[in-house]
Structures are given as structure tokens and as C-alpha cells.
Amino acid sequence: MSESIAAASLREVLEALSARDLDRVSAVVDENFEFVDVGGGETMHNREEWRAFCDVFVTAFPDLTQDVRLLVDAGEYAFAEVVARGTHTGPLATPDGDIAPTGRTIEIPFCVVMHARDGLLVDGREYYDAGTLLGQLGLTAA
């Protein structure tokens, strides 16, 4: 049995982020793609905002990798448990302003859910502990 569009597109997004290929990240999402970053408290409402959101992380962590621990294909939906790793050598843009590079490495587990329709991802959500991320950057008590 082959992967659904949702699972194949989620896998593509994660691989493209590790390759810092924002064209690939954008190619699999609908023009009106909506993505909720639950840990960061932000919502992206279209393909351009999604691409800009992804750019924040590849800029802040140029060596970012996504280690997929589990990917569940549920037809129109796909779910993944992932560990993101990288070194904070670029500015990390946040709604409250940029966080200057700390030189620290991160290892953040997260879960992501994507929903596909008509051959493209139409919405998604990711869940992670923002406090762990800030702690690993040395910005709060870990």
C-alpha cells in the first residue's frame, strides 16, 4: 500500500526543512494553508506565511535536522513524532522580537498533524514545549 498524500507531503515537508529547501516546503501546501504552531502561539493563514514561518527556523538553526521517530498515515491525515536538532547560530524571530544567536544546540521533540485534500496539505498543527526550547537556548531555567 502506498502512502497517502497527507503522509507523503508531511514526509516531504520534514525532509525539505532538513535540506533548507523552502520551495519544497511550500510546494506541497495549498494557497490557503492554515498552520497552528501551538507551542509558539502563532497561526499561519496561507502559503506565504507558512514559508516565512519555516524560514524562521532554518535561519536560526542552519544545521536543522528533523528525525522522524514515527509517522502514522491515516488517509486524509498524517501524524508524526519528530525530534528537531540544530545549533542556534542565526537570529530566531519571535512575535516579541528576535533572539540573538546563543551558539547552543537544541533537541526538541514535537508532534505534527497534517490534513490533505485535493492533492495538497490544507491545514496542520504542531505541538511542542516552548519552555524546553527556551531552556535549551539558555533563556529560562531548564
* 3-class secondary structure, 25: helix
How many domains does the chain divide into?
Answer: 1
Residue 21: in which H helix or E strand, if any? none
Q: Is residue 76 part of a domain?
A: yes
Which residue range forms the structural domain that includes residue 26?
Answer: 5-136
Binned at pLDDT 50, 70 and 90, residue 1 comes out as low
Mean pLDDT of 108-132: 96
Q: Is residue 142 part of a domain?
A: no
Query: Can you give the pLDDT at residue 141?
Result: 59
Sheet arrangement for strand 29-37: 42-44, 29-37, 120-127, 105-117, 77-87, 65-74
Taking the model in full, what pTM does it have?
A: 0.92
Judge residue 5's burial from the number of C-beta atoms within 10 Å of its C-beta, 0-12 exposed, 13-18 middle, 19 or more buried: buried
- Cα 2 to Cα 81: distance, rounded to the nearest angstrom: 20
The CATH number of the domain holding residue 25 is 3.10.450.50
Alpha helices in 19-129 (DSSP H): 22-27, 47-60
Query: Can you give the pLDDT at residue 90?
Result: 97
Mean pLDDT of 11-36: 96
8-state DSSP, 120: E
> For residue range 61-102, what is the model confidence (pLDDT) as tens digits?
999 999 999 999 999 999 999 999 999 999 999 888 899 999
Q: Is residue 75 part of a domain?
A: yes
- Cα 63 to Cα 18: distance, rounded to the nearest angstrom: 8
Q: Is residue 141 part of a domain?
A: no
Q: Is residue 29 part of a domain?
A: yes
| pLDDT over 70, % of the chain | 98
Residue 135: in which H helix or E strand, if any? helix 130-136
